[in-house]
Structure 1
Amino acid sequence: MADYSTRRTMMVDTQVRPSDVTKFPIIDAMLSVPRELYVPADKREAAYVGENLSLGGNRVVLEPRTFAKMLDALDIQPDEVVLDLGCGLGYSTAVLARIAEFVVAVEEDETRADEAQTALSENGVDNAAVTTGPLTEGAAKSGPYDVIIVEGAVEHLPPALLDQLQDGGRICVPFAEGALGTVRVGYKIDGRVNWRYSFNAGAPVLPGFEKHSAFTL
């Protein structure tokens, strides 16, 4: 039997804290959420390694460092509602749910969405809901959101997603630029989103967020 709680502590001590992520709610959430329960069963042994974990079809669970730094940059408050785009099997949602008031997660693949909802329910996460639909469309009917986080890289960000951000809200997105990839945080002020560089990290481009998708009908 693998000692996952030791691995979880190791993950935080060797991947998260050294990346200058020190906010207590983030550290506490990442120490508390059993990451191994939100990855494919055959990948549990690799749940705590410091790299993106493949879910298949260009989808990943973001590596702990990247995800923690995104949370750090967003500075989510306990009274905020978060849109988690591309929640996979629910790990990001479970962590966000410990920090925010409520999380609306979107997953394109129906089976994966069901698995995520089951895992969240079984682990007592009652302030999150998983919806099924195209990631590019978000979940407008539950918005607008204080925070939007995108669990994968984009080349083109659909304007419809920015419309779901509350004025004064933040969105964190890994952009597929160059070899490294660039994570930026957008701040919505008076209806416009102003982007700021946060850090470098790579991830596969999410299906539907490729450049040419802007021109398809």
Structure 2
Amino acid sequence: MNIEQARFNMIEQQIRPWDVLDPAVLSLLAAVKREDFVPAAYRALAFVDTEVPLPGGQCMLAPRVEARLLQEAKVQRHETVLEVGAGSGFMAALLGHRAQRVITLENRPELARMASENLRRAGLSNVSVREADGREGLAAEGPFDVIVLSGSVAQVPQALLDQLKVGGRLITIEGAEPVMRAVLYTRQSDKALSKVELFDTVAQRLDGFAEPTRFHF
């Protein structure tokens, strides 16, 4: 496989047609080596439009979804980011190139180790991996400029929304199959939040987040 040609094709045939047009995001996707964050057994899938399997039944988001979330989060160089769901560490790596500091939470020890090692090899000293349950966020180190949930949730917990600074954004994929949407929450003031629905997609659930109550008759 010609790695660079495959990377180019991923960007031009999957990512750009999905309205990812920010030159800085596209340049970053060309520079950060996605294949280094994919388990060796699945390296041939590094640039394919699919969710790549990870240990423990987890997976990486599809490249176009990662790219679109990154673009819509509009992370700035001075900002601190909290990610929930480190997975292999690839999204944290992308965020690390955009932000001042990134903390990524992963509740599966094997994945936390994988993400830490991948990020270390990539030379990203401003990204730290914490083995922790992400449902409650990390209030002790908040509030944050940006929170990224790298997977889907039925509903964003209030505890996470409460950890946004004024002007801060939280981006995730919300809902239940077959209807899920990427959404962007923005804190307008201490008491006010706005919510914008961005695009339809489907993604694997983040570990441990509550499902909606089912009615029983």
TM-score (norm 2): 0.91
Task: Give yes or no for contact 2:149–2:172 (8 Å, CA) kept in 1.
Answer: yes
Residue number in structure 1 paired with 2:40: 41
Residue number in structure 2 paired with 1:200: 200
Once residues 11 and 138 of structure 2 are traced to their aligned partners in structure 1, the CA distance between those partners, rounded to angstroms, is 31
Relative to structure 1, the CA distance from residue 212 to residue 119 in structure 2 (aligned partners, 3 Å threshold; closer, same or farther) is same
Shift in Å, 1:54: 2.4
Task: Return 51-60 or 164-173, whichever deviates more.
Answer: 51-60
Residue number in structure 1 paired with 2:80: 81
Once residues 36 and 76 of structure 2 are traced to their aligned partners in structure 1, the CA distance between those partners, rounded to angstroms, is 25
Once residues 111 and 139 of structure 1 are traced to their aligned partners in structure 2, the CA distance between those partners, rounded to angstroms, is 21
Once residues 61 and 39 of structure 2 are traced to their aligned partners in structure 1, the CA distance between those partners, rounded to angstroms, is 14
SS at match of 1:5: helix
Residue number in structure 1 paired with 2:167: 168
Equivalent position amino acid for 2:208 in 1: G
Task: Give yes or no for contact 1:85–1:151 (8 Å, CA) kept in 2.
Answer: yes
Residue number in structure 1 paired with 2:100: 101
Cα deviations across residues 167-217 of structure 1 (Å, max 9, x unaligned)? 11001110133414111100111133221110011012212123258xxxx
SS at match of 1:147: strand
TM alignment of 1:174-185, pairs within 5 A: 174-185=173-184
TM-score (norm 1): 0.91
Once residues 186 and 107 of structure 2 are traced to their aligned partners in structure 1, the CA distance between those partners, rounded to angstroms, is 26
Equivalent position amino acid for 2:166 in 1: D
SS at match of 2:176: coil
RMSD (Å) for aligned C-alpha atoms: 1.6
Once residues 6 and 136 of structure 2 are traced to their aligned partners in structure 1, the CA distance between those partners, rounded to angstroms, is 36
Unaligned runs of 5+ in 2: none
Equivalent position amino acid for 1:170 in 2: R
Equivalent position amino acid for 1:200 in 2: D
Once residues 148 and 175 of structure 1 are traced to their aligned partners in structure 2, the CA distance between those partners, rounded to angstroms, is 14
Shift in Å, 1:16: 1.1
Task: Give yes or no for contact 1:117–1:129 (8 Å, CA) kept in 2.
Answer: yes
Once residues 41 and 184 of structure 1 are traced to their aligned partners in structure 2, the CA distance between those partners, rounded to angstroms, is 32
Stretches (4+) displaced over 6 A: none
Task: Give yes or no for contact 1:58–1:205 (8 Å, CA) kept in 2.
Answer: no
Residue number in structure 2 paired with 1:69: 68
Cα deviations across residues 6-51 of structure 1 (Å, max 9, x unaligned)? 2111111111111121112211111111111112221111111111
Relative to structure 1, the CA distance from residue 187 to residue 155 in structure 2 (aligned partners, 3 Å threshold; closer, same or farther) is same
SS at match of 1:146: strand
Matched, 1:10 2:6: no
Once residues 56 and 203 of structure 2 are traced to their aligned partners in structure 1, the CA distance between those partners, rounded to angstroms, is 13
SS at match of 2:135: helix
Equivalent position amino acid for 2:144 in 1: Y
Unaligned runs of 5+ in 1: none
SS at match of 2:169: strand
Relative to structure 1, the CA distance from residue 15 to residue 99 in structure 2 (aligned partners, 3 Å threshold; closer, same or farther) is same
Once residues 175 and 34 of structure 2 are traced to their aligned partners in structure 1, the CA distance between those partners, rounded to angstroms, is 25
TM alignment of 1:74-153, pairs within 5 A: 74-153=73-152
Shift in Å, 1:3: 2.8
Shift in Å, 1:70: 1.1
